[in-house]
Amino acid sequence: MSTTTFKIFRYDPDDGRDPHFQTFQVETVKGMTLLEALYWIMEHKDPTFAFRSSCREANCGSCAMHINGSYGLACRTQVDNLKPPVVIRPLAHLQVLKDLVVDMKPFFDNLKAIKPYLIPGDDPPEKEYYQSVDDRKKIDHHVDCILCGSCYGSCPVAYGDPKYLGPHALLKALRFVDDSRDGATDERLAIVASEFGVFRCHTIFNCQLVCPKDLNPTGAISKLKNKIVVKKFPFMKPFVRT
């Protein structure tokens, strides 16, 4: 057992103090995750400490936060791998409600804007939709997104413009555009080609670097850009990869 120093962002709208960092000494053991350390602080040091978590196995995406210079999930970060003092901040670009809890409403509003559900085409099949193995492989990568918000927090464009759809929504848009069963490709491409869509992306690659699921939102955005270009200018097809 050893002791590790944690510097954690604290803010409570009710106590009248400005946001500040509070230092905690945490007794850590080998194999301890950051989420366990946060629970240890809540149980042993300060019961008013607030953060979100649920599944503890990188499936729900609740515990995304800024950990020592990068975004990630607390539940899949080993305390041993972090350089003390461990500095923890909430997700950026979203309003802080209390401590590490942020208001995710703008994040999910942006997701809703791209209609993240299957829209059947004009001629739905009588029984179930058939999808070949090859067609399924096209969306294999994108369906893994757990909507944790790490990419949205790391994207400088999201700071400048809250209306910007964000890497999470655009990745999800490609997931449906690439889905062979979906019938609203043109509608979705029109949404992501709007003023606050793919062309706001500055290709900064932060979303790709921080994604805890190793997905590639930057690549998804460039694919969507190419699809929009080919739709508008069909002669560009040989020059771009969609």
Partner 1 sequence: MRIRYVFKGTKEELKLNPNVGTFSWFLHRITGLLLLFYLFTHMWVLGSANKGAEAFNQRLSAVQTPLFHFLEIGLILVIFYHMVNGLSITLMDFANISSKHKSLVVAVVLVFAILAIVSLSVMLPRLFAPHISTGGLA
Residues that bind partner 1 (CB under 8 A): 66, 69-70, 89, 92, 154, 156, 159-160, 202-206, 208-209, 216, 218-219, 222-223, 225-226, 239-242
CB of 203 to partner 1, least distance (A): 5
Query: In this complex, which beta carbon is closest to partner 1, that of residue 22 or of residue 226?
Result: 226
Query: In this complex, which beta carbon is closest to partner 1, that of residue 181 or of residue 225?
Result: 225
Query: In this complex, which beta carbon is closest to partner 1, that of residue 16 or of residue 69?
Result: 69
CB of 194 to partner 1, least distance (A): 18
Non-local CB neighbours of 77 within 8 Å, separated by 6+ positions: 33, 34, 35, 67
Non-local CB neighbours of 65 within 8 Å, separated by 6+ positions: 51, 71, 72, 74, 88, 89, 90, 91, 100
Query: In this complex, which beta carbon is closest to partner 1, that of residue 145 or of residue 184?
Result: 145
CB of 196 to partner 1, least distance (A): 17
CB of 154 to partner 1, least distance (A): 5
Query: In this complex, which beta carbon is closest to partner 1, that of residue 65 or of residue 184?
Result: 65
* Residue type, position 191, single letter: I
d(CA 226, CA 22): 47
d(CA 110, CA 151): 13
CB of 159 to partner 1, least distance (A): 5
CB of 2 to partner 1, least distance (A): 27
Query: In this complex, which beta carbon is closest to partner 1, that of residue 32 or of residue 204?
Result: 204
